[in-house]
Structure 1
Amino acid sequence: MLRWSTQIHKWLALVVGLQVLGWVLGGLVMTAIPIEVVRSEHHLAAFQPPALPVEGVLSAGDAARAARVEPVEATLKTTLRGTLWSLKDAEGKTTVVDAATGRAMTPLTKAEARQFAAALYEGKGRPVAVRWFAQAPQETGREGPLWRVDFDDAEATSFYLSPETGELASRRSNVWRLYDFFWRIHILDFKTGDDFNHPVLVGAAALTLPMVVTGLVLLVIRLRRDWLGLRRGFRAQRAVRSRS
């Protein structure tokens, strides 16, 4: 038992030892950092949009006709840019129009993106860089164009804004990126960080199980040996005392 357990444990540790270390380190990072900090919730200003107006707003049908859109979903919302209709067609394309006129909203300017991000931000940081992305970066989990505004706070927080509505689409920071790095190690998906059912992860977990079991077997054997050694030592001491 000892020989087989030692050999199995040793060779499996060579194969999956680094991954087990990654799991432990990742688990430590993901439990030590509050999820609210990862999501930059402490940098969200307490912004309350104004109530939806009762007058001067086109119906969803009128707004759609003015924008020449055939929506399957229409959402009326109040934003920093005013009251807007968000119209989604059958292909998933969203058109945002002014709820009062039906005119399509032009994208935010760089100055507006900086201004809106600063209004949505809470903390000591200041907006120091504004970048336009024609296609949202992978870290946002979004599609389509976005404005990114970077702040000079300790976490290097970044706000991604919708160019049509000015709404906050995603919040990212160096804390989130550290968390995401260890998450990808945890699930062994370095491409998207979404797939945790792939064969590599299942195989690593399957190999880790016998490594842990054999480690427990070796621990029990070692503890038993230590206990028997202590008992022999106590008996020898009692024998010496009895002879003296």
Structure 2
Amino acid sequence: MKRYLYLWHRWLGIGLCLFMALWFFSGVVMLYVGYPKLTPREHLAHLPALDLQDCCIDLGTALHSANSERAPLSIRLTTVAGAPRYLFSYPGRSTVAVDARSGERLTGIGEDQALAAARQYQPMVSAHYRGSVQEDLWSHSRALDAERPLHRVQLADAERTLLYISGQTGEVVRDASALERGWNLVGAWLHWLYPLRGIGLDGLWSNLVIYLSLAATVMAVLGAVIGVLRWRFTAPYRSGSRSPYRGFARWHHIGGLLFGVLAITWIFSGLMSMNPWRLFSSAAPLETSAYQGGPLQAQAFPLSAKQALAKFADSGLDARELEWRLIGGEGYLIGHDRSGRTRVLSMADGQVHTQLPQEMLERAAQAVWPQGHMRTERLQAYDFYYYARAEQSMLGHLDKRLPVLRVRFDDPNATWLHLDLYTGEVLGTLDQPKRVSRWLFSLLHSWDWLPLLQRRPLWDAWMIGLSVGGLVLSVSAVVLGWRRLRK
């Protein structure tokens, strides 16, 4: 039996040790340089003040021009390529843009529009058009699907920023500096095995990552068992060592004893990040659309964009973008300034508020699960399930403000909602499977544990130290595997 343990570990290791080394090395890079994305703060910081002179058509006309039989999921008024535009997003469909002055639905965004958007994003530098793509190295994210095709514009700024412009709306939807692109070649691009997506394996990529991770987990577990079996806990070997190996083999043996358990948890949690076989997808997730209290339609918003902008200005907010939102059947306009601050304009009383009343959000949330009970909690501090991450991390760009309202339902999946008191937005839905994923992925893979996260030098030392141990384990395996193959 032992012989088969050794053989399985050896040959799985020969096949996977290089992947392991790349995962550990690229994981360290990802601690500090994430996959390129345009964060909400970056988006707002590059927007000019909304200019509503000779503007705008009313929301009902804009919705009619969007020419959709379904109500949109979201409505924004922003500045694109120097002009105000309504942007409508729909489930499973491309984003729709409507010129806020003429009421014309915009289609076929071309080179001129893309360059105009780039000039708005960075007015003081020259821009060079680099064609359009459906998907490339820095635009694999599914969040961009509604914007494809994407126009690429290279800026001549100090960061040599590459912009991606929506082919549907003309809006800048991603930026990637030269620093991000360079480090990502040995960071996220390697870590997520994105090279496999560039050679015609896009449809198989997810399963390849899942089964490679599964095989690596089995290999690491076998290695841990063998490492314990080969270690002399009582009398040492004739050499005086408690390990029978020499050279790289000894490094591998001792490295496995010291870091093997951590290697297993990292590989296993990486596997869990892929949601293999839909383990963390509920069969019947709680439908949260009832929180709106109806479809997003113009009748709920009697105040015009110009009137709203004036009210926000009176409250001290220089709005760069407006967002229409329906909560419990009542209309609200959200104003965003360039720093990310928000104010809420109620359509019911015409007043501007910093936060929404908790009681109103609770009433709207009750409609999500009217037949059951719910409990609410106002969080004043971060906890295990609601916390902020560094901006470069996978979800670090999401704004996690405090206080926040947590709503717990007694539905079969024990669903939780996190509601933003500043905008009324549903920040996240956490049912039982997703909370399990929080333990098996976020905790085990990136050590999202508040005592460490809130002490960043300690968290950095912990993550880098363990990664170096895993790298020693993997590189020694590469050397041993190469020697075995040479024989």
Code of the residue aligned with 1:47 in structure 2: it is: H
Counterpart of 1:206 in structure 2 is 218
C-alpha contact 1:49 1:78 (8 A) present in aligned 2 = no
2:206 and 2:93 map into 1 onto residues whose CA distance is 22
1:108 and 1:88 map into 2 onto residues whose CA distance is 17
Tell me whether 1:84 sits opposite 2:96 in the alignment.
no
1:153 and 1:223 map into 2 onto residues whose CA distance is 65
Identity of aligned residues (%): 17
1:157 and 1:13 map into 2 onto residues whose CA distance is 45
Counterpart of 1:22 in structure 2 is 19
Q: Per-residue CA shift, 1:147-204, capped at 9, x if unaligned?
A: 0123578987532111343322234424334324422349x98636555883443233
Higher relative contact order (CA 8 A, sep 6+): 1
TM-aligned CA deviation for residue 130 of structure 1: 1.7
Counterpart of 1:191 in structure 2 is 202
Counterpart of 1:234 in structure 2 is none
Counterpart of 1:215 in structure 2 is 227
C-alpha contact 1:69 1:87 (8 A) present in aligned 2 = no
TM-aligned CA deviation for residue 114 of structure 1: 3.3
TM norm structure 1: 0.66
- Find the partner of 1:229 among 222, 237, 240: 240
Q: Considering only CA atoms, is the larger Rg found in Structure 1 or Structure 2?
A: 1
| Structure 1 stretches lacking a partner, 5+ long | 231-244
Tell me whether 1:170 sits opposite 2:180 in the alignment.
no
2:232 and 2:159 map into 1 onto residues whose CA distance is 48
Code of the residue aligned with 1:80 in structure 2: it is: V
Code of the residue aligned with 2:170 in structure 1: it is: G
| Structure 2 stretches lacking a partner, 5+ long | 242-487
Counterpart of 1:4 in structure 2 is 2
Counterpart of 1:132 in structure 2 is 132
TM-aligned CA deviation for residue 78 of structure 1: 0.9
2:122 and 2:228 map into 1 onto residues whose CA distance is 51
Q: Per-residue CA shift, 1:47-90, capped at 9, x if unaligned?
A: 14424859832333221224433341151221233221223457
Counterpart of 2:190 in structure 1 is 182
C-alpha contact 2:47 2:120 (8 A) present in aligned 1 = no
C-alpha contact 2:8 2:219 (8 A) present in aligned 1 = no
C-alpha contact 1:26 1:185 (8 A) present in aligned 2 = no
C-alpha contact 2:128 2:153 (8 A) present in aligned 1 = yes
The count of corresponding residues between Structure 1 and Structure 2 is: 222
1:114 and 1:194 map into 2 onto residues whose CA distance is 35
Secondary structure at the aligned position of 2:167 is classed as coil
C-alpha contact 1:147 1:162 (8 A) present in aligned 2 = yes
2:79 and 2:193 map into 1 onto residues whose CA distance is 38
Counterpart of 2:448 in structure 1 is none
2:10 and 2:202 map into 1 onto residues whose CA distance is 26
